[in-house]
Chains A and B, each alone.
Chain A
Amino acid sequence: MKDHILESRKFVIGGIALIIVVTYIIRLAFLQLMSEDYKTYADSNAFLNKVLYPSRGGIYDRNGTLLVYNQPAYDIMVVMREVSGLDTLDLCRTLGMTKEEFDNRMSVIKDRNKNPGYSTYTQQLFLGQIPAEEFSVFQEKLFRFRGFYVRERAIRRYRYSHAAHVLGDVAEVSPADIESDEYYQSGDYIGKQGVERSYEKYLRGEKGVEVLLRDARGRIQGHYKNGEKDRRPVPGKDVTLSIDLELQKLGERLMEGKKGSIVAIEPKTGEVLCMVSAPTYDPRLMEGKQRGKMMARMGRDPLKPMINRAVLGTYPPGSTFKTSQALTFLQEGIITASTAYPCSHGFRFGRLKVGCHGHAAPLPLQPAIATSCNGYFCWGLYYMFGNRKKYPSVQDAMTRWKDYMVSMGFGYKLGIDLPSEARGMIPNAQYYDKAYRGSWSGLTVVSISIGQGEVLLTPLQIANLGATIANRGYYITPHVVKHVEGAQLADSLLEKHKTMVDSKYYEYIVGGMRKAVTGGTCRAADNSMYEVCGKTGTAQNPHGKDHSAFMGFAPMNDPKIAIAVYVENGGWGANYGVPLGALMMEQYINGGLSPESERKAEEFQHKHVSYGLSSEVRPVLVNKNREEKKTATDDSSDSE
């Protein structure tokens, strides 16, 4: 019955058991006796690394006015085993939460999956970011809520209702943020938009840590090695913007009830003096806990106040673009300053017609700029694209043309120090080859010469064109930050970009733009105090009435400010563009408005453009009446 060969297999099975147990004991020896690593890891678990948060850097305007600062806020902590005789309803009422929210929060705290390291002996975060005014109510009653404690934490505050798009905001880090930068831990705050985002690394500072010992019950036993391993937090760096608060304030006032943008640049330095995007919102509404709600509300708004139109809106530049065309034609030798082209209420060629308003004809270059003659620039482009001696094919001419445009900062991102920027649109030969299946000519695309057709620029690019002309042929990368405490600006922001056009040709354009102010389309901008140069733009678009645009700079021979104004569906360039531009320049150069200009500003502030939406462009989110009497105790609860 017994098979002895098979019986010997008991040794195989017993041997397997022996091998397993011996292997495991060896492994145990490795884990428990040989390696200190796991003890260290265990330490990091049993130690409580208490994070000390640095204060975030402040943000100032170019004249040193504080715009953004931190204010103490409070986290409410709870030690579960000390909670007794809690009047839940009273607590909920004091903190403005519902019973469900309370129960929900409590169960999350107790859930070890969501809150590993939970102990009934230690403080657990119950509610975060309570602003001072809400907190004071709670503090009065704190003695009644046994087991509840308070931890200080800063909250981001905005002193003014202005420059929301440039400043941006902060919010809790997303999982993606944590993934991409190991500095962040869940619960940390990070800049989400604007300068808060692009200068996050400077603003945030460096977190510190306190290493505390815990026993098996989770109770704090004191500092590890008497605080040898503790690290003080390093406060964030202050950032000074190139924005002029007063100019920004005026710009936002003038753009009330309109869609569009005003961008002003100091030509010599590339510093952005103001960046208005309308409609805007009050950054104070994004403070603390309200941010989520506001984001959702603004996301639903058909006017899209969240979008920074100055860098993300792409528009047909209209006649402001003609200056760039004249420069190109001059440099390429297509025209000279005295070349005159006919214009009989527009450009006519066979059945093709580009309309123009009535003026004397034929005109040479400078008067053509001053009166914004469409015919002149259409002929220029026609002759350039048709010049087979210079360019073997229309594609070559197009490529040459495109290179000029790119050298002036169009078609690509300018590289401003904000988190996002649109590149606009400058068509190239391949684009038209595809669109017209290879059969096209200068005539087909003639409307690009007057800033229509496929050409799209951001208001920033238009302002930058103004700065380039003011500088007679170069621009510095536009940037909104003037200075960072204890650091240099990135080299790319100080880089000088020369265009492909010689500076002597710029003088003709400057002259033409001066003529436009003294006796052309921009007469409303003329004044006796300083010489203004300007160019209007009236851009046709598929969304209704023409867009009203203005591009200019002043003073002519020592430019301090270059500006672009763009009002969606504002009609003629002279309707909004010119007067708004003139007011802005006056404000910056004179440091204020004359009484007459003030009256004018008042008038334009209340002159609204209708966008056919049931809700007129209303400053729902901008509350201009709450002017800046702000102090640290100011709150934002009366926003509506």
Chain B
Amino acid sequence: MQSEGRKGVVRSLDWWTVGLYLILVTWGWFSVCGASYDFSNPDVFSLDCNSGKQLLWVGTSVCLACVLLLIEKRFFDSTSYYIYIVMIGVLLVTIVIAPETKGSRSWLPIGSFMKIQPAEFAKFAVALAIGKYMDRYGFNIHNLKDFARVVGLVLLPMVLIVCQKETGTALVYLAFFLVLYREGMTGAFLFSAFAAVVYFVVGLRFCDDFISDMPVSIGEFTVLLLAMLFTIGMTFVFCRNALAVKIMFFGGVGVTLVAYLFSAYVIPFNVCYVMLAVNVAIILYLIGLAVYTRLYTYLLITLFAIASTSFFYMCHSMFDALDDHQRVRIEVLLGMKEDIRGAGYNVNQAKIAIGSGGFEGKGFLNGTQTKLKYVPEQDTDFIFCTVGEEEGFIGSSAVLLVYLLFIWRLIFVAERQPDTLGRVYGYSVASIFLFHLFVNVGMVLGLTPVIGIPLPFFSYGGSSLWGFTILLFVFLRMDAERNLKKR
């Protein structure tokens, strides 16, 4: 039985994923070589340099993967809560005993030369725990209590990691909301979050720009217009009340258009006041509908409309309340400020390094930007620069495409799981990789804020590589058992 199970595992293991994993890890190792190469010490296998150490991590990761494939799903199924509790305990202990390194308290020293970052392993525990919880009989995501508990399981480690001053790592846990969406959480949540980001970016970026010849702030105008259109759109999607949608759309857009034309050709005035009035009218209309139809949904949409309309103004007061350096970071990101020496230095150097790579790159070990160490953190968070500079557009797009295939494959595998635990866990893995890719590469390309999280399999570091390997191979073992269970 045991031996047959093992043979089954090898046969039904998803070799596609394993192959992509090996490609990424190998590619990652070469990138670390490029980033940390020192011409005065040309031995890339030496344990004195990062490439040598990374090779050690890769080797141990592969061993670790093999060991994980031997552990049956049953084990994780029955111990998931304990693993979660132990992980929370470790995170707590870390806050207390970890020495401060680079402003955070997230590294736990083990022995004299090794340090591990428990936060990298906690993702795995959370994925297991929510999978187990949602697999429970009678779990219903629309039940407020169930939903709150799942969210609680995610938020608890998040808060602890924020306490370790690793806000970036904590943000990764937002990826779990994508899993909840797959499991039935209403898309309105995701859409609201998306809308909030759009309002924030557009509102702040174009706040001080004005439509030509009119005293109208582009930011304010756009945010109010989007708030109106989003609200109408949600009414259309969730309530399917064609009449109400027509009234709101033609009324709202019509009044806005008239006001805009009046301002443009007759007397210039601030159109935003009219927009504000239109939005208030729509809100009142929705409240009316809610009372009339007694539909709960209208109330939620009203809430969305109120939040959307007031968001721009709240953002501004919040933005003003931020610390100077945080504000500068956001302003630099939105392109409102040039700050080559300060907050924008890393990103600017990263862009230069990537941009100078051109179509086919400068060749392995020939990147001047990364070799001369203009790019900080170039073998950890900014590893993608090395890829961009030395392998050019071809290499860096290829890395992104391999990642896309990898994530798609994970989604495919997750969908074929026979139970909720497997599926939720699988989606967690896919979402976490997606989030890391999104933030890390986006940061290097200057599209997302500078949040220090690694690019899986590429960034130098044992904790992250082990963490991702554990995350992935526990899932692959679960997947390998999909047929066993049926039997």
Contacts and interface: CB of A to CB of B under 8 A. Distances in A.
Contact of A7 (B39, B368, B415, B441): B415
Interface stretch (A16-24, A239-247, A301-309): A16-24
B411 A13 contact: yes
A420 interface: no
Given A32-B357, A117-B374, A17 B365 contact: no
A351 to B, nearest CB: 62
Contacts of B442: 20, 24
A296 interface: no
Contacts of A28: 354, 388, 393, 396-397, 400, 445
Contacts of A42: 352-353, 355-356, 368-369
B354 A217 contact: no
A216 B372 contact: yes
A113 interface: yes
Interface stretch (B143-151, B175-183, B274-282): B175-183
A497 interface: no
A38 B352 contact: yes
Interface centre among A9, A24, A29 (most CB of B within 10 A): A24
14 contacts: A16-B434, A24-B447, A25-B400, A28-B393, A31-B354, A31-B445, A32-B357, A32-B396, A33-B358, A35-B355, A45-B369, A118-B372, A214-B368, A218-B372
B351 A38 contact: yes
Contacts of A33: 358-359, 393
Interface of A: 3, 6-7, 9-10, 12-14, 16-18, 20-21, 23-25, 27-29, 31-33, 35, 37-39, 41-43, 45-46, 81, 112-113, 116-121, 214-218
B203 interface: no
Contacts of B441: 24
A32 B355 contact: yes
B437 interface: yes
Contacts of B415: 7, 10
Contacts of A25: 397, 400-401
Contact of B401 (A7, A12, A21): A21
Nearest to A120: B40
Contacts of B353: 42
Interface string B363-377: 001111101111010
B31 interface: no
A38 B357 CA distance: 9
B372 A13 contact: no
B408 interface: yes
A46 B393 contact: no
Contacts of A7: 415
Contact of A24 (B181, B408, B445): B445
B404 interface: yes
A32 B392 contact: yes
A32 B352 contact: no
B351 A121 contact: no
A25 B357 CA distance: 14
B407 interface: yes
Nearest to A113: B376
Given A9-B182, A45-B374, A113-B376, A17 B39 contact: no
B359 A13 contact: no
Nearest to A44: B352
A116 B373 contact: yes
A28 B444 CA distance: 10
B319 interface: no
Nearest to A27: B445
B376 A45 contact: no
B404 A31 contact: no
B299 to A, nearest CB: 24
B431 interface: yes
Given A9-B181, A16-B434, A81-B40, A24 B372 contact: no
B182 A41 contact: no
B430 interface: yes
A3 B438 CA distance: 29
A20 B437 contact: yes
Contacts of B365: 216
A118 B40 CA distance: 13
Given A21-B401, A28-B397, A45-B372, 20 more contacts: A6-B183, A10-B182, A12-B187, A13-B178, A14-B408, A17-B408, A21-B400, A27-B445, A27-B447, A28-B388, A28-B400, A31-B388, A32-B358, A42-B353, A42-B356, A45-B349, A46-B368, A117-B372, A119-B372, A120-B39
B184 interface: yes
B416 to A, nearest CB: 11
A46 B184 contact: no
Contacts of A31: 351, 354-355, 388, 445
Given A10-B415, A41-B355, A45-B372, A17 B367 contact: no
Nearest to A32: B393
Nearest to B392: A32
Nearest to A213: B368
Nearest to B389: A42
A38 B354 contact: yes
Interface in B404-454: 404, 407-408, 411-412, 414-415, 427, 430-431, 434, 437-438, 441-442, 445, 447
A292 to B, nearest CB: 25
Contacts of B40: 81, 120
B403 interface: yes
Contacts of A9: 181-182
B195 to A, nearest CB: 15
A39 B434 contact: no
Contacts of B397: 25, 28
Contacts of B183: 6
Given A32-B357, A33-B393, A217-B39, A17 B434 contact: yes
Contacts of B362: 216
Contacts of B434: 13, 16-17, 20
A45 B373 CA distance: 10
B373 A117 contact: yes
Given A20-B434, A24-B445, A81-B40, A214 B372 contact: yes
Interface centre among A31, A43, A46, A113 (most CB of B within 10 A): A31
B369 A46 contact: yes
A118 B373 contact: yes
B373 A215 contact: no
Contacts of B437: 20-21
Interface string B167-190: 000000000001001111001000
A488 B365 CA distance: 56
A13 B410 CA distance: 11
A45 B372 CA distance: 9
Contacts of B372: 45-46, 117-119, 214, 216, 218
Interface centre among A29, A32, A39 (most CB of B within 10 A): A32
B411 A3 contact: no
Contacts of A35: 355
In the A-B complex, list the 5 residue pairs whose CB atoms are closest, starting with the nearest: A38-B355, A42-B356, A46-B368, A216-B371, A41-B352
